[in-house]
A and B are shown apart, each in its own frame.
Chain A
Amino acid sequence: MPESRTLRLQRALASLVLNGDEAAIEADPGRVAHQQGLTGSDLRSFRDQGPAMMTYRELARMSLIEPLETMFPVLRALLEGAGSWGGCVEAFLDARMVRSPQYRDIAPAFLGWLAATRWGQDRWPFILELAHAEILEVLVARFPDSNPLEGLHADPGPQDLIILDPATQVVSYTHAVHCACSESPVPEARPTHLLAFRDGEGLARLMELTPATAALLVQAQTCPLAEAAAALNVPDLTPVTSLLRDLRSDGAIAGFRSFP
């Protein structure tokens, strides 16, 4: 079945909005219509209404770029310093990776694109970590609510598994990206471990972890606490269980479950 004229018109407008070559589009807005096989009066309508058509490019790109500017201020500062922010955003839009109708998904889509394409990683090996750290708290803060997990107990025992709250993330970076800021966007190369979780008020909190604590929180999700602690050369469980109780009280840990 031949593609409908309506679909070709929509594709042409989408290209006018998203395609990277602004100068060429501005010089001839009809070019995107031509590329879709549109001719005659449809093609002329793009050309005759050039400035108005370009309004759509401006409005839609503003909608798509605004969450990037809001959510990645440090990355933006880093790339603007190198004159690369505009090119990065252009490449992202040109890749058409915004596939979700949820506006809040635009920033995660950008992160996914950075990861998939490795854009800029040769020059800035920490760029993906930096972008991830910038939206980590928002991802945790807005993680979908779910019903409380059942069958968990409050006090950790040596044979228990740690069950993190579904919103909690334990992340490890090779750079101290959480310390970077717009004024100083290049992070120190230092292994960094973070716990991001939602407190009782539903607000995101960030806590820096020691390497051993980070490893324990990861490993004790799949093997008993005592075993995980022993593997990390932690012979005394008393301070560990005290910390875990605090983390449960703070909301990072949902509870504990006996190892099956």
Chain B
Amino acid sequence: MAQDRFTGVGLGLRRPHLEQVARMEGHGVPFWETCPENVIGDGGRYHRMACTILDRDPVLTHGLAMSVGGFDSWDEEYLRDLGEFLVRTGTPWHSEHLCFTSVDGSCLHELLPLPFTREAVRHTISRARALQARLPVPLLLENITYYAELGAKEMDEADFITAVLEGADVGWLLDVNNVYVNALNFGFDPREWLSRMPLDRVTQLHIAGHKKFGDLTVDTHGADVIDPVIDLMQWTLSRLGRPVPVLLERDNHIPDFDELLAERARIQHAYDAALVPSEVRHA
């Protein structure tokens, strides 16, 4: 199966590293994650380098601006291009965020929270199903960080996410850092939270760094991953009992590629340790 190619800890393909990565075949990164919005319709030197890598190495795709929970009509032309891109990369699935990013045609370029309401669940299920019908590969939805609840809630975040994933019958891109950050901001136990969730739907994990600003912790993707988040990843992998791919996100304060490779290796070590069968661990 194509999915079997995707295990271990991959990296996001970032512009500052393209030249180096395009020249290196033995980089040791098991897969890359790329944002189609940044590649489709682009051109020039960096685009060509990105395409060289995407045509050479295993790739997963992760969208930023589909506004799955929004109301704006789909850009059918873009969706056709996206479908062709997904086929070209050979990605076994495509992920988007469980959020909205545009309103009345105005793009906000931020992952904004959906109301935790029954109406929003129904709406988002309908949108996710419509999007899935337009894609050539299975759709995953990713849980986001949120800093405020939008409107009066009728359920909590865990129930909202579960209802959408189950109702839309899509996979889950579980961002463990987002769970950790939300747990800090809203005061809950992340392991307890995860124990309530449909972990059988988890197809991929995200892991990243975050930063505290006063009382608020923000998912910045701009720092090394802290040990408690790595512990949560390991706990999740142990619960899953299967080697789902983990993507280390780094979008701000992007370090040199060699430094990022070292951070990847650190996470990979933790990943491998979490997946060692317990009888081997205790032998």
Contact (A6, B120) CB under 8 Å given A13-B112, A63-B110, A104-B38: yes
Q: How many residues of A contact B (CB 8 A)?
A: 47
Contact (A10, B148) CB under 8 Å given A59-B218, A142-B43: no
Say yes or no for A237: interface residue by CB 8 A criterion: no
Q: Which B44-83 residues sit within 8 Å CB-CB of chain A?
A: 44-48, 64-67, 69-71, 75, 78
Chain B neighbourhood of A70, CB < 8 A: none
Say yes or no for B101: interface residue by CB 8 A criterion: yes
Q: Which A17-57 residues sit within 8 Å CB-CB of chain B?
A: 17-18, 38, 40-42, 44-45, 49, 52-53, 55-56
Say yes or no for B41: interface residue by CB 8 A criterion: yes
Say yes or no for A86: interface residue by CB 8 A criterion: no
Q: Are B44 and A202 in contact (CB under 8 A)?
A: yes
Interface 0/1 of A5-16, CB less than 8 Å to B: 111011101100
Say yes or no for B192: interface residue by CB 8 A criterion: no
Closest residue on chain A to residue B51 by CB atoms: A145
Closest residue on chain A to residue B109 by CB atoms: A63
Q: Are A52 and B120 in contact (CB under 8 A)?
A: no
Binds B, one of A75-83, A94-102, A126-134, A188-196: A94-102
B151 contacts which of A9, A96, A143 (Cβ < 8 Å)?
A9
Q: Are B104 and A11 in contact (CB under 8 A)?
A: yes
Q: Are B106 and A101 in contact (CB under 8 A)?
A: no
User: Bound complex: CA of A41 vs CA of B240, how far in Å?
Assistant: 38
User: Bound complex: CA of A4 vs CA of B121, how far in Å?
Assistant: 13
Say yes or no for B12: interface residue by CB 8 A criterion: no
Chain B neighbourhood of A41, CB < 8 A: 151-152
Q: Are A44 and B110 in contact (CB under 8 A)?
A: no
Contact (A14, B38) CB under 8 Å given A44-B152, A142-B47, A204-B44: no
Say yes or no for B85: interface residue by CB 8 A criterion: no
Closest residue on chain A to residue B43 by CB atoms: A145
- Output the residue of A52, A56, A60, A101 with the most chain B CB within 10 A: A101
User: Bound complex: CA of A18 vs CA of B46, how far in Å?
Assistant: 32
Q: Are B70 and A10 in contact (CB under 8 A)?
A: yes
Q: Footprint of B on A, CB under 8 Å?
A: 4-7, 9-11, 13-14, 17-18, 38, 40-42, 44-45, 49, 52-53, 55-56, 59-60, 63-64, 96, 98-104, 106, 141-146, 167, 198, 201-204
Q: Which 7 A-B pairs have the closest CB atoms?
A: A202-B45, A101-B65, A41-B152, A52-B148, A60-B110, A145-B43, A14-B103
